Structure 1
């Protein structure tokens, strides 16, 4: 099973793209085109929050129009830049898995890997929380299918990153969350957003991975006195491949590279070389790989 993850889309009204720093809408449209064109099509796409820049109804209308072009089943959660009710109003009819009220939490049991969404948003705040009600729901949900490999996805990452100003708007209740996830070892991967950086850590007897943004990235500076910086680094998304035994995660740029070389053009008899490579090692130096 292949899970594509997009995060921190920050869709905004035309002419209001992150204070004119980046055209978030165009970047998201490019990500959709990339996913649709993938030779190995993802089974699902999950979007881990900050879907819009301010949570306004007009922004959700623009978001829906862009995402409507996606050819892959899509599952959404909200982030600190979102607003629950305008989000729900825009997507409830087309995304029936969304709860009609309360936190945006749900479970999808239709695939090889179970998908469990946890709402970490705190109303009118940028920092996140998982309260006892949400944690109890997660505990019950994971207990229902203890033998099914499961991905838990949320917006705020439940760990300290070393980027101080992002850690200050982190997740309250992370220790309780870790305890629950640790008690359910079928939770093989936890996916988050929020940070605008690809970061991975061991946590709760599993692995947590945060996705970069489809718009811009947070500068990677872990000095405790550095000034907050956002950077026009390439927009990216992640691909999480379930092999049947483990997850393998890839971070990829989705805009076309400035240049590329196809290996087949460097080899006189590529079909024979390809067949030889598929046979596996040994590969002596000076042969196929130079």
Structure 2
């Protein structure tokens, strides 16, 4: 069940894992540079971080699920690294099709920031996958990633599991975006179906909210920290929504409660 994140939790709060998912920030090297619709992507990400810190329960950790940088420029990653030093939360990063995984590995592994692909916290395991195809917008999980996923799940059947990747493994009903999804989703799901501890799959790439369920597993697409795309559109089209992010509360019994949040438009337009 996916329920609003802001209801009162009656169980022991210390037993829950609170995850903040950020995605598709498209940061630029030049701090004054603008992207879509006069957007300063650094400013929009700062606005999102400030919104998170205003929450009653900001989270236990942050997962950034790809397209961190628009052009994979080292200055963009360096800015993120430096900004995250003051968050007081561990930050885990996985690559998107706009990113350079090698460069991310060189820069985004310091202090509280990491590209570590496997996280264990309380009775949950979080698995971060690399679904990018170099110089292509679509996604693919190569044999190495599928083997890593299989080993991680097989080794900890006792832990509820949440899987993160950049590309959507299901169609979202937007033809231009569906052409850029995970191209071997059949293999991905065939593997996951062997492991009942998998409770959810979360991704970015689509710049919009999406939720469905498959065999009891929550499938969640999330909004971008910069611009959003119009759901159900046949072609690229920007929505009139501010930058967003997703919060997930993971309960000891495997239930996932989640909600997406948005920041007012005037906070981020350059």
Q: Which TM-score applies when normalising by structure 2? A: 0.85
CA distance in structure 2 between the aligned counterparts of 1:255 and 1:244, rounded to whole angstroms: 34
CA distance in 1, matches of 2:26, 2:228: 12
Is 2:173 aligned against 1:158?
no
Separation of aligned partners in 2, 1:52 and 1:81? 6
Shift of 1:26: 0.7
2:3 equivalent in structure 1: none
Larger Rg: 1
Runs of 4+ in 1 over 6 A off after TM superposition: none
Gaps of 5+ in 2: 1-16
In 1, Cα distance between equivalents of 2:259 and 2:113: 29
SS at match of 1:231: coil
- Does residue 1:138 correspond to 2:146, yes or no? no
1:60 aligns to what SS in structure 2? helix
**More moved, 233-242 vs 89-98:** 89-98
Q: Does residue 107 of structure 1 match 2:115?
A: no
Distance in 2 (alpha carbons) for counterparts of 1:189 and 1:88? 26
State the alpha-carbon separation in 1 of the partners of residues 235 and 115 from structure 2.
38
Residues 28 and 66 in structure 1, CA contact (< 8 A), matched pair in contact too = no
Q: Equivalent residue of 2:133, what SS?
A: coil
In structure 1, the residue corresponding to 2:38 is in which secondary structure?
Answer: coil
Residue 243 of structure 1 is matched in structure 2 by 251
Instruction: After TM superposition, list the pairs within 5 Å mapping 1:36-185 onto structure 2.
Output: 36-94=53-111, 98=115, 106-185=117-196
| Cα shift readout 1:19-74 (whole Å, capped 9, x = no counterpart) | 55311101111111222232223111111111111111121122222323322211
The structure with higher relative contact order (CA 8 Å, sep 6+) is: 2
Question: Over aligned residues, Cα RMSD in angstroms?
Answer: 2.1
Aligned partners of 1:196 and 1:130: how far apart in 2?
21
